[in-house]
Structure 1
Amino acid sequence: MKIAFSPCPNDTFVFHALVHGLLPDTPKFDVTYADIDITNKLSVSSGEDSLDILKISYAALPYIHPEYALLPCGGALGRGCGPLVLTRDSLAPAELTGRRVAVPSDRSTAYLLFRLWAAGHVPGGLGEIVVMPFHEIMPAVRDGLIDAGLVIHEARFTYQNYGLNLLADMGEWWEQDTGLPIPLGAIIARRTLNLDAIAAWIRASVEYAWANPEVSRAYVLEHAQEMDPAVADQHINLYVNEFTANLGDAGYEAITSLLDRAAVEGLVPKLDLSYLR
Structure 2
Amino acid sequence: MKYSIAFSPCPNDTFITGALLKGLIPARHFYTPHIADVEELNHAALGQIHDITKLSFHAYAHCAGHYSIIPSGAALGFGNGPLIISKSKIYPDEIAGVRLAAPGKLTTATMLAGIFFGNGLNIKHYLFSDIEEVVLSNECDAGVIIHETRFTYHQKGLKKICDLGEMWEKEISLPLPLGCFAVKNTLPATTQSEVAADMNASVSFARKHPEALTDFILEHAQVNDKNVVQQHIATYVNDFSVSLNDTAKRAISELFSRASEKKIIPPVKPAFL
State the TM-score, normalizing by the size of structure 2: 0.94
With over 3 angstroms needed to count, the CA separation of the structure-2 counterparts of 1:257 and 1:22, relative to structure 1, is same
The farther-off stretch of 12-21 and 222-231 is 222-231
Q: Tell me which residue corresponds to 2:74.
A: 75
Q: Tell me which residue corresponds to 1:55.
A: 54
Task: After TM superposition, give the deviation of residue 230 of structure 1 in Å.
Answer: 0.6
Where does 1:63-102 land on structure 2 (aligned, <5 Å)? 63-64=62-63, 66-102=65-101
Q: Tell me which residue corresponds to 1:136.
A: 130
Q: Aligned partner of 2:135: which letter?
A: V
Q: Aligned partner of 1:42: which letter?
A: A
Q: Tell me which residue corresponds to 1:248.
A: 245
Distance 1:60 1:184 in 2: 10
Distance 2:244 2:101 in 1: 30
Q: Tell me which residue corresponds to 1:164.
A: 158
Unaligned runs of 5+ in 1: 120-124
With over 3 angstroms needed to count, the CA separation of the structure-2 counterparts of 1:262 and 1:226, relative to structure 1, is closer
Task: Give the share of equivalent positions with the same residue, in percent.
Answer: 37
Distance 1:276 1:232 in 2: 29
Q: Is the 8 A contact 2:72 2:203 kept in 1?
A: no
State the TM-score, normalizing by the size of structure 1: 0.93
Matched, 1:204 2:204: no
The structure 1 segments of at least 4 consecutive aligned residues displaced by more than 2 Å after TM superposition are 25-28, 94-98, 125-128
Q: Deviations over 1:236-262 (max 9, x none)?
A: 111110000111011111110011011
For residue 16 of structure 2, the aligned residue among 14, 17, 36 is 14
Q: Is the 8 A contact 1:73 1:247 kept in 2?
A: yes
Q: Deviations over 1:68-102 (max 9, x none)?
A: 21111111001001000001101112322332111
Matched residues, number: 268
State the secondary structure of the residue aligned to 1:51.
coil
Q: Tell me which residue corresponds to 1:146.
A: 140
Distance 2:22 2:114 in 1: 39
For residue 190 of structure 1, the aligned residue among 164, 184, 206 is 184
Q: Is the 8 A contact 2:46 2:59 kept in 1?
A: no
Task: After TM superposition, give the deviation of residue 25 of structure 1 in Å.
Answer: 3.7
